[in-house]
Each structure stands twice: as C-alpha cells, then as structure tokens.
C-alpha cells in the first residue's frame, strides 16, 4: 500500500515537474525535486550509444534510426506501476492509429535501471507484443537494457530527469514519451499516461517530414497544433472560427441565390406572354 501511494503521488506531481516555473519547483516536496522533463526539441540524440537488445545482443542505438520516425519510451521493466501505465497508454494509442509499428514507425523502449537484464526486456516485449497484436510488430518494437554511462547519456540528451529512492528501492520519475525523426532528432514530447491515437499520428507525420500519412493528416495538422507546454495537440481555435465563418457565408449565399431564382412552373407575366 505504501508503494502504491508513493507511485500515485508521483503521478499527480508529473505535470508540476514538467511545466511549473523554477521557483515553484523548489517548493515541491524533496522527493520530487529534480524529477521531470527538460524539452530538447530538435536536438540530436547520441547514436553511438551501446545497449543490449531483448535477446542479449549488443546493439548500437543508431541501428534503430535512418528509415522511419521512432517513438522513444524510457521505462524500467520492474517499475511497480507508472511505467506499466505509460506502456499501456502507448499500446492503446497505437491501436487507435492506422500506422503499424515496424511499418510506418518504430518503438524503442530503454530501461533506465542499469541493473535490469535482457531476460526482463524479453519478458516485457512478449507481453506488450501480445497486447498490441499486429503482425510484424516484433521487428518494430525493441526493448533495450544498458550500462549506467550510456543510459545517462541518453536521458541527459532528451532531458529526462529522475532519481532513485533507496528506501523504496524504486525510481521516481515523470511520465511521458518522445517522438524522434528518422535522423534521431527530438521532434515531440507527449506527456501523461494516455496518448491519443490522434496525437501519436500527428506527431509521427510531422517527425517523418510528411513522408507518411495521407491528405487527411494534412488537414488535421492544419486544424491542430502542438503545444509544447502541455505536450499535446490542441485545436487551433481561430482556424475553426475562420472555417465556420466561411461556411456561414456560403450558406447565406446559397440561401439568397435560391430565393432569387423564379419558382419552377410559376405563371409567366403578361409582358412575357405578349409576342
């Protein structure tokens, strides 16, 4: 119960850790200080990092880039609750998209606990591939472990701040995922434990420089914009106001045009009949 309350408290403080001014952060409880995200939009992640994949094979981080945009998830596999909620929310959002992992995009999950092993990564991958259930996803969703030096280089590069609580034997961290370009630049941060299919879809389209997606996605990107303060896509209010105004004017024009037309079968005037 103590562990559950501790994790819940961290979840409630996630938004504060991300967006409050520095003076307010200093007033947070000591356990939450130094936890959150520092956005590094458009910065390059180090591609020379070495990790072990779920089979235990040594891999270069850059091996997962170059072809498609990448969803990066930082989560440790023995997390009692929050990391599972992040991964569950990601799976649900991915299922809401027409895009498929391994086809239009890749997912790379990296444990930030250097004590974890490829066996744990393999178990986690099996579980989430089963939840996802789309054919071919095993080649597009990767679960990695690594040493502390490479983990720190990655977390520092993306601005992910976390700390270890020895009393609880667990990490205190914020919840969120990142979308990276095929070249490994940070394109978007999405916060919270739920990620809508719309936000994932738009983020991937933008990260791919519109190399994936359809004309519908272009329309959606016109109507929604990314708000870095909240890590979500929100409606462009003025866009909808303008569209509503145009539609209203069109409706009025059609109404006036129909009123000005003579009704079918109406009797002709005397002047019209005299020849």
Kindly list the domain boundaries of the chain, sorted by start residue: 2-235
Category of 113 on φ-ψ map: left (φ > 0), alpha (ψ -120 to 50) or beta: beta
**Three-state DSSP state, 20:** coil
Which residues make beta-bridge pairs with 37?
Answer: 160
Higher pLDDT, 233 or 15: 233
Residue 39 binned pLDDT confidence (cut-offs 50, 70, 90) = very high
Predicted local distance difference test score (pLDDT) of residue 228: 75
Predicted local distance difference test score (pLDDT) of residue 232: 75
Segment 223-230 shows an average pLDDT of 71
Q: Residue 67's closest CA among 184, 158, 154?
A: 184
Which tokens belong to 70?
A: 């990448």
Query: Is the per-residue pLDDT at 5 higher than 50?
Result: no
Q: Which of 51-60, 146-155, 220-229 has the lowest mean pLDDT?
A: 220-229
- List the Cα angle 214/215/217 in 5-degree steps: 70
Query: Is the per-residue pLDDT at 17 higher than 50?
Result: no
Query: Is the per-residue pLDDT at 91 higher than 80?
Result: yes
pLDDT, tens digit (0-9, with 9 covering 90-100), for 236-266: 544 433 445 545 666 666 666 667 766 555 5
**Three-state DSSP state, 237:** helix
Predicted local distance difference test score (pLDDT) of residue 216: 60
Structure-token match 């590069």, residue found = 157
Q: Rounded distance, CA 92 to CA 95, Å?
A: 5
Which residues make beta-bridge pairs with 74?
Answer: 110
Q: Are 160 and 67 in contact (CB under 8 A)?
A: no
Which range has highest mean pLDDT (72-81, 239-248, 266-275)? Answer: 72-81
**Three-state DSSP state, 47:** coil
Which residues make beta-bridge pairs with 235?
Answer: 224
How high is the mean pLDDT of the chain? 81
Predicted local distance difference test score (pLDDT) of residue 77: 97
Query: Is the per-residue pLDDT at 221 higher than 80?
Result: no
Segment 45-67 shows an average pLDDT of 97
Segment 86-108 shows an average pLDDT of 97
Predicted local distance difference test score (pLDDT) of residue 210: 73
Q: Are 64 and 142 in contact (CB under 8 A)?
A: yes
Query: Is the per-residue pLDDT at 173 higher than 80?
Result: yes
Which tokens belong to 224?
A: 């929604």
Residue 198 binned pLDDT confidence (cut-offs 50, 70, 90) = very high
Q: Rounded distance, CA 20 to CA 22, Å?
A: 6
Give the other-Cβ count within 10 Å of 115's Cβ.
10
DSSP letter assigned to residue 101: B
- List the Cα angle 73/18/80 in 5-degree steps: 50
Segment 58-80 shows an average pLDDT of 97
Predicted local distance difference test score (pLDDT) of residue 254: 67
* pLDDT > 90: percent of the chain: 61
CATH homologous superfamily for the domain 2-235: Glutaredoxin (3.40.30.10)
Predicted local distance difference test score (pLDDT) of residue 34: 78
Residue 223 binned pLDDT confidence (cut-offs 50, 70, 90) = confident
């Amino acid at each position: 119960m103590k562990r559950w309350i501790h994790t819940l408290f961290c979840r409630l403080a996630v938004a504060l850790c991300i967006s409050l001014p520095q003076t307010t952060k200093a007033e947070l409880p000591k356990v939450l200080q130094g936890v959150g995200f520092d956005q590094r939009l458009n910065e390059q992640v180090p591609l020379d990092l070495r990790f072990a994949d779920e089979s235990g094979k040594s891999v270069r981080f850059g091996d997962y880039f170059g072809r498609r945009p990448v969803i990066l998830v930082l989560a440790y596999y023995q997390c009692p609750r929050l990391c599972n909620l992040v991964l569950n929310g990601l799976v649900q959002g991915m299922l809401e998209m027409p895009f498929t992992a391994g086809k239009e995009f890749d997912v790379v999950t990296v444990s930030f606990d250097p004590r974890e092993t490829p066996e744990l990564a393999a178990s986690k991958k099996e579980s989430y591939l089963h939840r996802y259930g789309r054919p071919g996803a095993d080649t597009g969703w990767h679960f990695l472990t690594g040493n502390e030096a490479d983990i720190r280089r990655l977390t520092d590069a993306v601005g992910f701040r976390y700390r270890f609580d020895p009393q609880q034997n667990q990490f205190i961290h914020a919840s969120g995922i990142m979308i990276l370009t095929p070249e490994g630049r940070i394109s978007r941060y999405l916060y919270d434990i739920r990620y809508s299919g719309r936000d994932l879809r738009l983020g991937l389209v933008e990260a791919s420089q519109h190399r994936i997606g359809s004309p519908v996605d272009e329309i959606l990107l016109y109507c929604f914009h990314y708000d870095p303060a909240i890590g979500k896509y929100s409606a462009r209010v003025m866009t909808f106001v303008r569209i509503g105004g145009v539609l209203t004017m069109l409706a009025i024009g059609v109404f006036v045009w129909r009123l000005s037309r003579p009704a079918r079968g109406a009797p002709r005037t005397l002047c019209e009949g005299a020849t």
